[in-house]
Structure 1
Amino acid sequence: MTQSPGDRIVARLAERTDGPVPDVVVEPDAEVLARAAAAALVARLAAAQAVHGTASVVLTGGGVGTAVLRQVAQLAEEPAPGQQVDWTAVDVWWGDERFVPADDDERNEKGAREALLNRVGVPAERVHAMPASDAGFDGPEAAAEWYAGQLAAAAGEGPLPRFDVLLLGMGPEGHVASIFPHSPAATDERPVVAVRDCPKPPPTRVSLGFTAIASAEEVWLLVSGEGKADAVASALGGAAPVDLPAAGARGRRATRWLLDAAAAGRLPGAAD
């Protein structure tokens, strides 16, 4: 039987690591990656609703993350049999947010609303946006504390609510959410952290910490582009999370790396 590139890479990773092996899926390019990730996300949310009655997703920004949301919106218009998502019963959270005014184009929330949320009818009370800088908070620390309170209030009996899927992008230096290498957030054990002096503009942000990320049932990393290939290989090769935060992004039940061929180019077996 012929193996896909993702199958070959997982096999090589299994040979070289001792811990649980993440799923690695490789698509030819970013466009195909966005379509495949969208179809998988819709199926996963539909499955969660079949079990729990509701579903929850943590969104990311960035080029691929927003492209996935546009594809999800298209699938919502013509759902496949057995993959209908009731968007009135989906809770939406964010992995990080830029601490800028609400109408700023840098806001992940703004991009997500335009790409998906305004098109599928998620009720306002189920959209849990991180605060904007003009929302009345003194700074990102107060905004982070407030968001942690929202998570706790939604959790019921546990410290954090159920996240069925938590989506993450990754930067070329290996950052995820707004956790950057060797930054205070990389060692902060709080579920939500304020980020100042971020090396990528805008410099002030609010981010989930590793504690919250690790609570998700599944963590999916969406990565495209040759410029991220070295970081992908290092993260999957066992780099320390403080050096390369993407290496510390792991789900409770599953961790999936959804890559295009360029981003997977430095992985063992990628050229087979």
Structure 2
Amino acid sequence: MLLEEFENGPAVIEPSNLGVSHRMDEVCPTLIYSFNGEIVQRVSQMPGVKQIGFVNSINGHNPVYLYEKDGLKVAVMMAVVGAAMAVGQLEELKAFGFENFIVLGSCGVLDKSIGADKIILPASALRDEGTSYHYAPASDEIAYEEALLLTMEKALDKHGIEHVRAKAWTTDAFYRETADKVKRRLAVGASVVDMEASAIMAWAQFRSAKVYQFFYTADYVDHTTNQWDKRQEERTADVLTFFEIALAIAKEL
């Protein structure tokens, strides 16, 4: 099987081989990597926020911003959707010198009892994507290091932010989330679904990277009626609420 060919040695192309298409004028310890583009757009327009660099790909220009407030300094960047490119960007950002990565974005729920806009810490994930198999030996599941999870939980508890741990189902193909697959994922303990978590977990282990990832819940994949519930009326939180949660974590790192 191709996905069982994990190798722990150096690659032909390493993230340290960054070319002129990338630039970082300033680096701080922590970077907030947001899959929600509205969060990054609104942060970029805040007073005092400045662009400090960029990462380019064939898709275009990806700016990195610096946010400072009350002595806290963090970089902010929009994440690309999909495991392969998200991990590729994290590789490059770590090579630039960023040390802590706070990753946030929405997730779907498989368990109807989980409401909208709830904070989920993906402690482990089912590896239904391809990227992770190049960073860790083949297995059905992977997890974040317990120390990273405890650090994030301590920060959230300190700031009174409710949260729960969960197992995610990370899949490359959101249009192939069939009812039978959802039932099987629920049966092995997954309660939310996303597209990147298992790959980021594998990357974090391989590179000894400090990643603090959280989801906020969005749509519901209803396997009982074979329908997709977008939950638009239930999702009332301002997206900057989730940026504030990322800042709360950053303050404690």
Q: Is this a same-fold pair by TM over 0.5?
A: no
After TM superposition, the score normalised by the length of structure 1 is 0.29
Hey, which of these two has a bigger chunk of helix by percent?
1
Hey, which of these two has a bigger chunk of strand by percent?
2
